[in-house]
Amino acid sequence: MEMTEEEFDKKYTDTLDHLLKAMAENPDIDPAKFFGMTCILENLRFFSPVLYGVISSGKKK
């Protein structure tokens, strides 16, 4: 059964949120680097449709 784009987007967003939470709770993470990584992960969120398209087209081949 293939995952829909909406399901992929939800799981992708949840994964990014879990990464941010894990980093925020880790005392070894430098706050300055945390904020930079937060920006990167938030920007990755906008690539969800592109990633879904690449993955789904790769499966069709």
pLDDT, one tens digit per residue, over 15-52 is 999 999 999 999 998 888 888 888 988 888 888 888 88
Q: What is the pLDDT of residue 22?
A: 93
Identify the pLDDT of residue 55.
Answer: 87
Spatial contact of 11 and 45, defined as CB atoms under 8 Å apart: no
Model pTM? 0.75
Contacts 24+ apart (CB under 8 A), 40-43: 41/16, 42/16
Check residue 25 and give its pLDDT.
92
pLDDT (mean) for 3-7: 90
Q: What is the pLDDT of residue 61?
A: 63
Q: Do 48 and 6 touch, CB atoms closer than 8 A?
A: no
